[in-house]
């Protein structure tokens, strides 16, 4: 396809309602943060939770740099990585895809495909689950479990989600304890193998799903005796499955390629 001068081609993909634009990193403008904010705007742009900028790498099928909708950089998105894997699978026909992220090399293995919808399991590495941390909030104390899965999370277990949970999550994100920001999860336990979660992510706000957030939620639940592997994490955008094996975390879920287009740069 011949693209017009002054345009940048993109592919839009979604994983459980967490949507991303996939763009060739060679086309990135000098101010990548400002451009990402423009193209991710849901009224005057294409609309997305972030952009996965893709560049070749000698030791992987592709290297990706994730820029959030607000222009900030992030180490990794489990959902965004699956979206990139779907794109590589479509382009190259590969079923085992290596993707270098800001949180290291991730291997995505195709487990199912139905036209433009794919399912992958990703080896996410090891999760670091810390002891419970109490935070002082305007309305009192909140308790949660800090977890790192290549990026930082704070998992707070609840019986039901407060009607204004987004306000609580935003206040947690502003806490001085998290110098590099934090992704916030509110999690309700339905059974040893089923969790319900709500996600409030750095640089985006509320999202319909989160891959690393689902991993953090599951690992915090397992570490505190609330759940057993495998764990299904149910979110407004869909369900993802997390299992552990020899301390490694595996994330399985769908990714759908939605459309291709070109964005006018001026």
- Given this model, what pLDDT does residue 266 score? 80
- Given this model, what pLDDT does residue 247 score? 85
- Given this model, what pLDDT does residue 3 score? 46
145-196: per-residue pLDDT in tens?
999 999 999 999 999 999 999 999 999 999 999 999 999 999 999 999 999 9
Matching CATH number, 128-252, of 3.40.50.300, 3.30.1130.10, 3.40.50.720, 3.10.310.10: 3.10.310.10
- Given this model, what pLDDT does residue 1 score? 43
5 pLDDT band, cuts 50/70/90, is low
Q: Give the closest residue to 46 by CA, choosing from 1, 11, 86, 18.
A: 11
9-35: per-residue pLDDT in tens?
999 999 999 999 999 999 999 999 999
Q: Domain residue spans in the chain? A: 7-121+254-264, 128-252
- pLDDT surpasses 50 at 120: yes
- The domain made up of 7-121+254-264 is a member of CATH 3.10.310.10: yes
Kindly report whether the global pTM for this prediction surpasses the value 0.85: yes
55-98: per-residue pLDDT in tens?
999 999 999 999 999 999 999 999 999 999 999 999 999 999 99
Over residues 221-238, the mean pLDDT reads 98
| Percentage above 90 pLDDT, the chain | 94
Half-sphere exposure of 238 (CA within 13 A, CB side): 17
7-121+254-264 and 128-252: identical CATH topology: yes
- pLDDT surpasses 90 at 255: yes
């Amino acid at each position: 396809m011949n693209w017009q001068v002054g345009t940048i081609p993109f592919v839009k993909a979604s994983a459980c309602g967490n949507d991303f634009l996939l763009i060739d990193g060679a086309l990135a403008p000098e101010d990548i943060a400002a451009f990402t904010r423009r193209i991710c705007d849901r009224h005057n742009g294409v609309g997305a939770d972030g952009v996965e900028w893709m560049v070749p790498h000698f030791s992987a099928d592709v290297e990706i740099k994730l820029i959030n909708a607000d222009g900030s950089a992030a180490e990794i998105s489990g959902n965004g990585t699956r979206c990139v894997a779907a794109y590589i699978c479509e382009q190259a026909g590969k079923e085992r895809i290596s993707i270098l992220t800001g949180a290291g090399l991730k291997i995505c293995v195709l487990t199912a495909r139905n036209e433009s919808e794919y399912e992958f399991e990703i080896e996410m590495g090891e999760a670091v689950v810390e002891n419970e941390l109490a935070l002082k909030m305007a309305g009192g104390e909140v308790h949660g479990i800090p977890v790192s899965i290549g990026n930082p999370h704070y998992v707070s277990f609840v019986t039901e989600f407060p009607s204004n949970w987004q306000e609580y999550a935003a206040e947690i994100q502003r806490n001085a304890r998290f110098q590099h920001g934090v992704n916030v999860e509110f999690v309700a336990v339905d059974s040893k193998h089923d969790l319900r979660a709500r996600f409030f992510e750095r640089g985006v706000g509320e999202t319909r799903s989160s891959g690393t957030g689902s991993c953090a939620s599951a690992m915090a639940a397992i570490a505190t005796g609330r759940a057993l592997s495998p764990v299904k994490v149910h979110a407004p955008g869909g369900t993802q499955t997390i299992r552990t094996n020899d301390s490694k975390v595996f994330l399985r879920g769908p990714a759908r390629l939605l459309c291709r287009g070109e964005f006018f740069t001026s």
